[in-house]
Amino acid sequence: MNWKTFRAMLARDAHVARRNFIPMVLQTMLQPMLFTFVFGQVMTRSGMMASSYKMILLPGIMAVSMVMTGIMGVAMPLIGEFQFTREIEDRLLAPIKIEWLAVEKVVAGMVQSLASGAVVVPAAWLVLGNVELSFANAWMFAVIVMLVALLSAAGGLTLGCSVGQTQVGLLFSLVLAPMIMFGCAYYPWSSLASYPILQKLVLVNPLVYASEGLRGTLVPDVPHISVAVVIAALAAMDVALVLLGLKQFRGKAMS
Amino acid sequence: MGVGVRAQELRKVYSSPPPMAAGSAGFSFTAVRGPKGKQKTEIVALDGLSLDVRAGEVFGLLGPNGAGKTTTVGILTTRVKPTNGSAWIGEYDVWREQVAAKRLIGVVQQRPNLDFSLTAREILEFHAAYFGIGRVERTRVAAELLERFQLTERADQMVRGFSGGMMQRLSIARAMMHDPKVLFLDEPSAGLDPQTRLLLWDIIREYNRAGKTILLTTHNMEEADALCHRIAIVDHGKLIALGSPADLKASIPGGYLLRLRFTGPADGLAGRLRELAGVSEVNVSGPSVDLYADRGGPLAPAIVTAASAAGAELCDVHISEPSLENLFLHHTGRSLRD
Ligand SMILES: Nc1ncnc2c1ncn2[C@@H]1O[C@H](COP(=O)(O)OP(=O)(O)O)[C@@H](O)[C@H]1O
Ligand SMILES: [Mg+2]
């Protein structure tokens, strides 16, 4: 392992991120803020939803934006760099095992995912107004946040190395959209009880554990999947996605 | 101390069709039925190619499109896994000791692959940083190379808007940033204007004088002739001929090639042409005749006479002096330019 090379590759990604800072912030913020405003403000004020819905919504918004930011932040550049511009080739020739480049991408994606969580939560909290968050489980919360960040970045690595440039549209409509809708972000998992089959099926969706885990630690009074189960599931999915992502990366990087 | 490059019995079979934009014409698919009746593609890109590039030499791989040049460079630079065979950069096995091998090499790929999110100067400086070169040093070397490659004026612009020639120059500068012992250049002058090509040739020669080994590929024989100490001619993934440009040219029977065309089939003419003084080989196909001889123009009157004696009329003559082009034609019956 060659730290200088690894650090230089991180520095490159940080430099590019700094250059695209404003569009990136807008991209991260806009969608969650719109959701927060429409569901948390418009719907609750008009009485179409109970005010307590805000407590369900906030952790879900955080989960969606962390997961989406991590996936997009890793997958989109990878798809382009491998196929269209091939600009990744210079780094594949750097004096370091190529797997470390994939690890670097995952680390960069985790940072983006964490940053989006750190920005979206206070912003959503301000828009919603007086949602009571619990920080009694700070450690559990931190563990879950890290696992979610890794989940999203490793998922981005896997998708980015499996999807071709022409299939990006399909990625959105066939993978990401159902994932968000069935991710228990806008409703707790327990509310699927009247659809027993669906309730079992959505358990393959990693976003479910992210939403439920954040709910379980930030607003523990809302019904949620047990935090221990969430941590175990997230850890298992993290390991699986990292391994699968590395395999896909190797396949892309060498012919 | 210079570093050599060795390849032994390299064989590469691609199992998927080339990616859409791979940009190499003339590939041949063989559809093979797999055990489960599934359609499989097998493209034999290299078929037992061995090379021994000496430390400190400029070595050329010459061959038409699809010959396997880029695949060879890919294997030697860790980017392509050989189906069989091994390769070494100096003492390091390219596949087993990738990191050590990568430290010794600089690579200019055939297709531009510059980092579009960076400026020209940043591209060079980040590249050096990947190789662990300190800030002061990399700033200095980047400025030097930008100047050398006449890119200083555009150094702080994003490379997205660069012309093909500028991108190519920057790619070469980038490959030199960490001062590699072996420099690979895959078709470095394709698409360059004549002036830039001369600049490039100068730069390659100068880099070589500093004791570096250079392996370049080209399908341009003048370039191979002008730059290389030794040349390997490859076609269909196989080595056809190997030697210095002078030796290779001397190995063509006769040296001169006269490509003749007659108004009708020329089969009856071959015997008479073979008997002419200085003619060493005659190949007839329909109305066309390839004639190898030790002289060019002076032979023309004799050919016309021989032709009219056989009742044939000569309608076109093309004479070429001893060249690598003729050598390729002699070995394969095809022109490099095809
Ligand atoms: N990544 C790839 N996948 C499948 N086939 C390839 C790939 N790269 C090259 N080929 C095929 O291998 C053969 C040799 O190509 P290449 O090495 O690019 O030759 P050259 O550089 O001499 O033009 C061609 O038939 C080409 O189509
Ligand atoms: Mg090529």
Across B30-49, average pLDDT? 69
**pLDDT tens digits, A213-245:** 999 998 888 888 888 999 999 999 999 999 999
Q: What per-residue confidence (pLDDT) applies to B338?
A: 54
Across B125-138, average pLDDT? 96
Q: Cβ of A191 under 8 Å from any chain B Cβ? A: no
Mutate which of B24, B117, B162, B176 to disrupt the A interface (most A C-beta within 10 Å)? Answer: B117
**Which of the residue ranges B20-24, B63-67, B163-167, B317-321 would you say has the lowest mean pLDDT?**
B20-24
CA torsion angle B157 B161 B165 B171 (round to 10):
60
Q: What per-residue confidence (pLDDT) applies to A165?
A: 77
Q: Which sequence spans correspond to the domains of chain B?
A: 5-248, 253-321
Q: What is the DSSP string of A54-112?
A: HHHHHHHHHHHHHHHHHHHHHHHHHHIIIIIS-TTHHHHTSSS-HHHHHHHHHHHHHHH
Look at ligand 1, atom 10, and give the residue with the nearest C-alpha: B18
Q: Cβ of B249 under 8 Å from any chain A Cβ? A: no
Q: Cβ of B27 under 8 Å from any chain A Cβ? A: no
Domain B5-248 in CATH 3.40.50.300: yes
Is pTM beyond 0.95? Reply is: no
**pLDDT tens digits, A44-75:** 888 888 888 888 888 999 999 999 999 999 99
Q: How far is A254 from chain B (nearest CA, A)?
A: 5
Chain B hits for A85, Cβ within 8 Å: 113-116
Which of B16-25, B192-201, B202-211, B251-260 is modeled with the greatest confidence? Answer: B202-211
User: What is the homologous superfamily of the domain B253-321 according to CATH?
Assistant: Protein-tyrosine phosphatase receptor IA-2 ectodomain (3.30.70.2470)
> In terms of C-beta density within 10 A (0-12 exposed, 13-18 middle, 19 or more buried), how is residue A132 classed?
exposed
CA distance A99 to A79: 17
Q: Which sequence spans correspond to the domains of chain A?
A: 3-254
Q: How far is A158 from chain B (nearest CA, A)?
A: 20
Question: Which A residues in the span 193-232 are in contact with B, Cβ-Cβ below 8 Å?
Answer: none
Q: What per-residue confidence (pLDDT) applies to A161?
A: 93
Which ligand does the CA of B61 lie closest to? Answer: 1
Ligand 1 pocket, Cβ-based, cut-off 6 angstroms: A 255; B 14, 16-19, 22, 24, 27, 43, 45, 63, 65-71
What ipTM was assigned to the predicted interfaces of this complex?
0.89
Q: What per-residue confidence (pLDDT) applies to B15?
A: 86
Q: What per-residue confidence (pLDDT) applies to B228?
A: 94
